[in-house]
Amino acid sequence: MMIPLLAWRDDTCDPRVCSVKKLQKYGLVRIYPKISAIPKNTLMLDPTAGQALSPADKISPSITVLDCSWKALDTGIVEGWKRRRALPFLVAANPGHFGRPFMLNSVEAFAAALYILGEKEQAELVLSKFNWGLRFLEVNREPLEEYSKAKDSAEIVKIQSYYI
């Protein structure tokens, strides 16, 4: 059974190249135009969160990305979520930010979270919809494998320190 993928879009990115909109066409993500409509028990991927995502977060019923410009993000809008998690160090493989650390697009964020949570097949499925997608797993194979074996957020941070 696949983990439901959710996204909040603020429409600051170009819809013609939006990775989440493409995933929606394949029925792999549900997009919410209002952040207040997203279930509060979701695992919210938020780069400003104080805790790193780890396999211990597997209990979450869904994963949500904030599909918006990080420059325009008002972090106050996500304060109400109990499971806000930041992704550990990974390198982007998308054409707009290839090779840049921490510059993942929404699809890469979904895939990273799924992989870390042990849902490797779903991560591959999500990435397979993009001609560059599986390259993300190639570029980040070693850290993703290590992160997926960590027991908790503290161990993720320790592993991450070897890559930064």
pTM across the whole model: 0.92
Question: How far apart, in whole angstroms, are the C-alpha atoms of residue 14 and residue 18?
Answer: 6
Q: Which pLDDT score, from 0 to 100, does residue 12 have?
A: 65
Residue 74 has pLDDT above 60, yes or no: no
pLDDT (tens digit, 9 = 90+) per residue, 7-28? Answer: 987 766 666 667 888 899 999 9
Q: Which pLDDT score, from 0 to 100, does residue 78 have?
A: 60
Domain ranges of the chain: 5-161
In the chain, the amino acid numbered 79 is: E
Question: How far apart, in whole angstroms, are the C-alpha atoms of residue 61 and residue 80?
Answer: 17
Q: What are phi and psi of 89, to 5 degrees?
A: -55, 120
CA nearest to 93, candidates 49, 139, 124: 139
Q: CA angle, 154 as apex, 36 and 61 as ends, to 5°?
A: 35
Question: How far apart, in whole angstroms, are the C-alpha atoms of residue 140 and residue 87?
Answer: 13
Annotate 46-106 with DSSP letters as a single string: -TT-SSB--GGGGG-S-EEEEES-TTT--GGGGTT-SEEEB--S-B--STTTTT-BT---H
What angle separates helix 133-148 from helix 153-161, to the nearest 10 degrees? Answer: 110
What's the mean pLDDT when you consider all of the chain?
89
Instruction: Name the region of 152 (left: φ>0; alpha: ψ -120 to 50; beta: rest).
Output: beta
Q: Which pLDDT score, from 0 to 100, does residue 77 have?
A: 61
Question: How far apart, in whole angstroms, are the C-alpha atoms of residue 98 and residue 30?
Answer: 26
Q: Are strands 30-32 and 83-85 parallel, antiparallel or unpaired?
A: unpaired
7-16, 42-51, 70-79, 123-132, range with greatest mean pLDDT: 123-132
Residue 64 has pLDDT above 70, yes or no: yes
Q: Is 66 buried (19+), middle (13-18) or exposed (0-12) by CB count in 10 A?
A: buried
